[in-house]
Chains A and B, each alone.
Chain A
């Protein structure tokens, strides 16, 4: 049986992690079908059909799908699941919210947040904030799997031409009503996919001081991250949080400024290719994962960092 990938999108276009989930799905079985549930989502469905790894697209349309409510999505996928061995989507807030609801309807034990497909029934996943890796074999007939998007490369996005079939909508779930979504718009790269991330922690001391980080991020074309302490203190909004209960990032360069490096923060960034730590406490745990550590007062170091960047002839973007 084929694998069913649940596409994440905003009704206009696919969200980028759909491509990473597609890669993971294709490692389970090369026969990948993808379902897209939304309202007026034909353009996103077309984009999905162009992913070469996707062999068939199932499109489900309805006004009650406009806001991606799990209570509305789950029954459709449960109906479709009959014909599939695996249901796959990203382990971001979309997939985390949705997949367990599907798994429970199917009476399946979900495997969450996998970082590697070992075989079609065996997966590697981090536990304890990434301080241990567990190899898990699923004995359920149908397997519900969420994938850590940063652990799989995005698939090719063009060249495919899968057929798009319509599938019937399910009834609306009337006890949940969408009110509003406050998306923080930014011209900067997305935190989850950025090549460089500059993050600030409690050491920043105020929201205003984050402008020191913003300046450097703009210069480097980087996304801005934060520790939970900085978000809790109100210095910056929750969508910037990196860590066990926030986002997991794997950039080429991660610069941690004024972040001590609690286990929960390291869980979200320690797979980054190059890690820089700037902290005035030389004993801070962040230095144990840093490739380059600078023991310094960030309020002196960041302006100097900006000066040094300005001296460079070229900066990779």
Chain B
């Protein structure tokens, strides 16, 4: 089996973001960027499946500006075999990204496509499901466990009520939850080796996909701030405040 894994470059999850004063977005200059965390889980799972002898090749793909290639390089350092960088300027909507990925799937013909369930920047949670619609493939979203069984996958999904298990035939899309696995760190020798692994560069404009925006971001603003609270001295005071001041118990 061949696994294609989509990764996205986002502001690092530990960074407290700042809204631009002109309301056009958030500050990204001189801000630490990383791979979207659940995309790391997607890469890890693909590499584990390959290590277990159930996959022959893991290909990492990203869609984004020049520096987005770092995320592909990182995927190569933890075990992906080769990379694809679809170059595009500016921010694409998930629909456009899924159309680009569809073209990559047409070209690469993977049996599985993995990606994180949601990107932590726009929090859209759409791309995997959209890609599976465009391909008319099965979708296993929010996966916390994957068992490979010949040409099927048994996937445990995290849902609001608990857990759900489904069986999907390949080819299929899986979007990964943070609990799927523990992503490994890249060792220095592997980072060096990854520099020699090939990354194919493709201009999004050469794929013949309409990526024009359908949505307009009119404004980005700070959420309303909570007013500062107080520290209480002990539990008795806390309960008294909740009862008589906040009147919530």
Contacts and interface: CB of A to CB of B under 8 A. Distances in A.
Interface in A122-141: 122, 126-140
Chain A: interface size category: 35 or more
B219 interface: yes
Interface string B193-235: 0000000000000000000011111111111001001111011
Interface string B135-162: 0011101101000000000100111111
Contacts of B172: 175
Contacts of B134: 104
Contacts of B243: 312
A157 B163 CA distance: 29
Nearest to B23: A135
Contacts of B165: 179-182
B138, B159, B177 — most chain A CB neighbours (10 Å): B159
Contacts of A99: 126, 129
Given A70-B139, A109-B215, A287-B231, A133 B133 contact: no
Identify whether the interface residues of A are mostly helix, strand, loop, or mixed. mixed
Contacts of A299: none
A259 B155 CA distance: 30
A220 B216 CA distance: 45
Contacts of B11: 128
A50 interface: no
A100 B229 contact: no
Interface stretch (A26-34, A80-88, A202-210, A288-296): A288-296
Given A101-B129, A127-B220, A239-B162, A110 B144 contact: no
A100 B133 CA distance: 8
A133 B221 CA distance: 5
A169 interface: no
Interface stretch (A39-47, A57-65, A160-168, A272-280): A272-280
Interface stretch (B50-58, B81-89, B117-125): B117-125
Nearest to B134: A104
A245 B248 contact: no
A233 to B, nearest CB: 11
B179 A274 contact: no
B132 A101 contact: yes
B130 A101 contact: yes
Contacts of B188: none
Nearest to B168: A176
B192 interface: no
A245 B162 CA distance: 14
Given A132-B17, A239-B162, A139 B214 contact: yes
Identify whether the interface residues of B are mostly helix, strand, loop, or mixed. mixed
A239 B230 CA distance: 31
Contact of B95 (A107, A128, A173, A309): A107
A177 B248 contact: no
Contacts of A21: none
A217 to B, nearest CB: 12
A281 interface: no
A71 interface: yes
A301 B235 contact: yes
Nearest to A137: B216
B126 A136 contact: no
B249 A316 contact: yes
A22 interface: no
A100, A122, A137 — most chain B CB neighbours (10 Å): A100
A126 B122 CA distance: 8
B53 to A, nearest CB: 24
Contact of B226 (A92, A289, A312, A315): A289
Contacts of B154: 179
Contact of A294 (B26, B235, B249): B235
Contacts of B93: 109
A296 B177 CA distance: 33
B249 A315 contact: yes
B217 A132 contact: no
What 5 A-B pairs are tightest by C-beta distance, nearest first?
Answer: A100-B129, A109-B214, A104-B133, A104-B130, A100-B126
Given A92-B160, A100-B129, A275-B226, 18 more contacts: A74-B133, A101-B132, A103-B95, A103-B126, A104-B133, A128-B26, A136-B217, A136-B218, A137-B218, A138-B214, A179-B154, A180-B164, A181-B164, A192-B160, A239-B162, A263-B14, A274-B242, A312-B243
Interface of A: 69-71, 74, 92-94, 96-105, 107-113, 122, 126-140, 173, 175-184, 192, 196, 220, 228, 231-232, 237-239, 244-245, 247, 252-253, 263-264, 270, 273-276, 282, 287, 289-296, 301, 304-305, 307-309, 312, 315-316
7 contacts: A108-B214, A112-B123, A127-B220, A180-B164, A253-B246, A287-B231, A308-B238
Interface of B: 11, 13-14, 16-17, 19, 26, 38, 93-95, 98, 117-118, 120-134, 137-139, 141-142, 144, 154, 157-169, 172, 177-179, 213-223, 226, 229-232, 234-236, 238-239, 241-243, 246, 248-249
